[in-house]
Structure 1
C-alpha cells in the first residue's frame, strides 16, 4: 500500500510538471501571436484552485491530474464579439496556428534538453558496459561475444553505458546485422558481427540486451539476507537480517539464483530452511506466499533481499560536465531520444516490436515511483524520457492530438483553404476511438505486469 501511494504521488508530480510545460508552450506562443487565452487548466474536472491574471485568463488546477488544456478564443466554438474577432485563434494566419499547435511538443523537447543539462551538471553515475554472461545458443554467443568483454562500440555509436548499448541496439532493429566492438581483459580490441536477421522485441518485459543473449555484469548476490519485507513469508517465519541460507529441504544452496528458482516454484508449499545465525545453525520452516507473476502464472514470494558483493574498482563512473558541455550533451541526448521514439513507433507498426511492450499510466506511475526512490538524478532522467515521449506522441497525426491539427493546417497551407468541418469532425471521432483503444490496450499491458 505504501508503494501504491508513493508511485501515485510520483506519477502526479511527474505528469503535473510535464503537462504544465506542454500547455505553457501553447499558451506562450498563443499570447505572442495575439490570441486571447480564456483558460489554462492543469487537470480535468472540478477546479481545486483558480485565479485570473491581468489579461483575463483563468488559471485552473483541477481534480483529475491526467492532462490539461489551453482554451483560446475561437469563433468556431464561441460567440465572439466583433471587437475581439482579431483576438480569436481561427482569425490568425495558418502559419501562426501551426506555431501555436507545434509549441506544445517543442516545449517538451526543450524541457528535456534543460533537464538533461542539469543532470549532467549534477553528475551522472553509470556502470561500465562489461558483459557478465552470455546465454547459451543466443545470437551473442554465435557472434563470439564472451563474458568479461567490455563493449566499446555498436555500429557507429560509441558506447560508454548500458543505456547507450540498449539505444544503439534498438536503433538497429530491422537491420540484418550490426558490428559490435569489444575489448577484453588484455585490452585487445575485436569487432564481432551480431546477426539481427529476424530479431524482434516480441516478448513482454524482455530487455533488448537479454533477448540477444547479453547479460550485463553485476556483482554477485551472496546467500546472506540484507533486508526483509514487512509482513512477508520470511518475516512471518522468523528469518532475520544477516542470516546465511545454507540448505532448503536438505538441498545445498550454492547461489542466489538457485534459491530464487526454488522459491518461485514453491508457492504455498512449506520449505525447511537451514540458516547460519551468528555462531549457530537454525532450522526454520518457511511457506512462500503466492503471487501472480508477469506471465500470469502463480509464483512463490519470500520477501528477502541479499547482501551483494561490492562493484570492482573502475566499474562505476561518475561524470560531471560544465554548463556549455551539459547543454550540448542534453541537446544530443534529446535528439537521440526523439529519433529513437519515432523509430520505435515505426517498429510497432511493422511488428518488429510487440504491442505487448506498450505502456500506459500505470507503467508510468511505477517508473516515476522507482526513479524517485533512486534519487534526484534518476528522476531527472525519467522526466526527460517521458517529456520526449509526450512530445513525440502528441506529434502523431491523430486528429485529437497536436499532430492531427498540424496535419489539417499543413493541408490548408497547400490547398489555400481550410479542410472542411465535416472532414475534421469525422477525423476527430476516428482519432478519439483510436486513442481510447491505445490507452485501454496500454493499461491492460500495465495491469498484466503487476504482481498481486
Structure 2
C-alpha cells in the first residue's frame, strides 16, 4: 500500500511539473505575441484551486491531473468586442500562432536540458558498462568477446554507463547490424559487429536491451557462505549462522549461489532440509522458508546474504560536470533522447517494435516511484526522459495535439486561407479516436503487466 501511495505521489509531482512547464511555454509566448490569456489550468475538469491574477488570467489547478490547458481569447469560440480583436489568437499572423503552439513542446525540451544539467552538476554515481558474460546461442554470442569487456560506444555513440548502453541499443533496434566498440580483457580497443536483423522486443521482455541481446553486466564473485543473517528470519529461526557454507538444500547439492537463490524463491512456505558446513563439520538444519509477494506472485526467502567479492573500484565512477560542461552534456543528452524518441515512434509505425511495448500512466507512475525512491538524481533523469517524450508526442501531426495544429497552419500558409472548420472538426474526431485507441492500448499493456 505504501508503495502505491509513493508511486502515486511521485506520478502527480512528475506530471504536475511537466504539464506546468508545457503550458507555461504556450502562455509565455502567447503573452509575448500580444494574445490575451483567459485561463491557465494544470489538470482538467472542475477547479480545486483558482485565483485571478492582475493580468486578468485565471490560474487554476483542476481535479484530473492528466494534462492541462491555456485558454486564449479567440474569435472562433468567444464573442470578442472590436476593441479587443487585436488581442485574439486567431487575429495573429501564422508565424505568431505557430510560435505559440510550438512553445509547449519546446518548453519540455528546455526543461529536460535544465533537469539533466542540474543532475550532472550534482553528480551521478555510476558503474562502467563492463560485460561479464554472454549467453550461449544469443545474438551477442556471434562476436568473439574477450571478457570482461567494457562497452565504450554503440554505433559511434559514446556510452559511459549501462543506461546509455541501453538507450543506444534501443536506437539500433530494427537495423541490420550494430557496431560495438569495446575495451577487452587485454586492454585492446576492438570493434564487434552483430547481425541484429532477427532481434525483436516484445511485451514479455521487460528487461534492458543489452540483456535481450545476451549480454550480462559484470558481477563480482558470489560465494555460498553466509555473511549476514537477518534477525527473526527463517534462517535465524533454523539456527543458520554467519560463516556457514551452504552445501545442499532439500537434498540437492550446490556449488554456486545463483541456483540456491532460485531454489529458495521457487519454494515459498516449504519446510526443507538445509545442509551447511560449519567449522569443518556438516550440519543439516530444518528450515521453513518465508513467503513474500511481488506483483501478485509469491516468492520464498531465507533471510541471508552471501559473501561477495568487493566491486572493483576502477569500475566505479561519478559522472559530474561543472556549469558549462554540465549544460553542454545536458543539451547533448536531450538531443539524443529526442532522436531516440522519434526513431522509436517510427519503429512502432513500421512494426519493428510491437505496440505491446507502449506504456501508459500506470507504468509512468511505477517508474516515477522507483526513480524517486533511488534518490533525487535518478528522479531527475526520469523526469527529463518523460519530458522529452511528452514534447515529441505533442509534435505528432495528429489533430488535438500541438503537431496537428501546426499542420493546419502549414496548410493555411500554402493555401493562403484557413482549413475550413468542418474539415477541422472531422479531423479532430478522427485524431481523438486515434489518441483514445492508443491510450486504451497503453493502459491495457499496463494492466497486463500488473497481472503477470
One fold, TM greater than 0.5? yes
For structure 1, list consecutive stretches of 5 or more residues without a partner in the other structure.
none
Q: How does 1:182-331 map to 2 (within 5 A)?
A: 182-202=182-202, 203-220=204-221, 224=226, 246=246, 247-266=248-267, 270-273=271-274, 282-286=285-289, 288=291, 300-302=299-301, 306=305, 309-331=309-331
Partner of 1:404: 404
Structure-1 separation of matches of 2:239 and 2:88? 69
- The alpha-carbon deviation at position 145 of structure 1 amounts to 2.4
Partner of 1:120: 120
Of stretches 300-309 and 185-194 in structure 1, the one that deviates more from structure 2 is 300-309
1:371 aligns with 2:371: yes
1:107 aligns with 2:107: yes
Contact 2:371–2:378 (Cα < 8 Å) also in 1: yes
Contact 1:23–1:104 (Cα < 8 Å) also in 2: yes
Change in CA separation of 1:327 and 1:289 when aligned onto 2, cut-off 3 Å: closer
Change in CA separation of 1:115 and 1:290 when aligned onto 2, cut-off 3 Å: closer
Structure-2 separation of matches of 1:221 and 1:450? 31
1:20-56 per-residue CA deviation (whole Å, 9 max, x = no partner) reads 0101000000111111111111112232221111111
Structure-2 separation of matches of 1:276 and 1:228? 19
Contact 2:271–2:286 (Cα < 8 Å) also in 1: no
Contact 1:225–1:305 (Cα < 8 Å) also in 2: yes
- The alpha-carbon deviation at position 120 of structure 1 amounts to 1.2
1:50-91 per-residue CA deviation (whole Å, 9 max, x = no partner) reads 111111101101222211111111121222222222211111
Change in CA separation of 1:311 and 1:395 when aligned onto 2, cut-off 3 Å: same
Of stretches 260-269 and 349-358 in structure 1, the one that deviates more from structure 2 is 260-269
Structure-1 separation of matches of 2:426 and 2:168? 40
Partner of 1:439: 439
Structure-2 separation of matches of 1:78 and 1:204? 51
Structure-1 separation of matches of 2:25 and 2:193? 45
- The alpha-carbon deviation at position 442 of structure 1 amounts to 1.0
Normalization by structure 2: what TM-score? 0.90
Change in CA separation of 1:241 and 1:389 when aligned onto 2, cut-off 3 Å: farther
Partner of 2:61: 61
Structure-1 separation of matches of 2:349 and 2:380? 30
- The alpha-carbon deviation at position 108 of structure 1 amounts to 0.2
Partner of 1:72: 72
Of stretches 8-17 and 346-355 in structure 1, the one that deviates more from structure 2 is 346-355
Structure-2 separation of matches of 1:317 and 1:416? 58
Partner of 1:420: 420
- The alpha-carbon deviation at position 306 of structure 1 amounts to 4.1
1:215-241 per-residue CA deviation (whole Å, 9 max, x = no partner) reads 1113355554869799xx969988999
**SS of match in other structure, 1:450:** helix
1:154-177 per-residue CA deviation (whole Å, 9 max, x = no partner) reads 222222212222222222223221
- The alpha-carbon deviation at position 299 of structure 1 amounts to 5.7
**SS of match in other structure, 2:207:** coil
Structure-2 separation of matches of 1:46 and 1:210? 46
Contact 2:273–2:285 (Cα < 8 Å) also in 1: no
Structure-2 separation of matches of 1:238 and 1:403? 64
Contact 1:268–1:289 (Cα < 8 Å) also in 2: no
Normalization by structure 1: what TM-score? 0.90
Change in CA separation of 1:290 and 1:27 when aligned onto 2, cut-off 3 Å: closer
How many residues align? The count is 446
Structure-2 separation of matches of 1:301 and 1:167? 34
For structure 2, list consecutive stretches of 5 or more residues without a partner in the other structure.
none
Change in CA separation of 1:305 and 1:34 when aligned onto 2, cut-off 3 Å: farther
Structure-2 separation of matches of 1:48 and 1:189? 60
**SS of match in other structure, 1:108:** helix
1:323-357 per-residue CA deviation (whole Å, 9 max, x = no partner) reads 11111111111000000000001111112112221
- The alpha-carbon deviation at position 197 of structure 1 amounts to 2.0
**SS of match in other structure, 2:41:** strand
Structure-2 separation of matches of 1:15 and 1:275? 51
Change in CA separation of 1:187 and 1:427 when aligned onto 2, cut-off 3 Å: same
Contact 1:117–1:326 (Cα < 8 Å) also in 2: yes
Of stretches 175-184 and 270-279 in structure 1, the one that deviates more from structure 2 is 270-279
Contact 2:171–2:343 (Cα < 8 Å) also in 1: yes
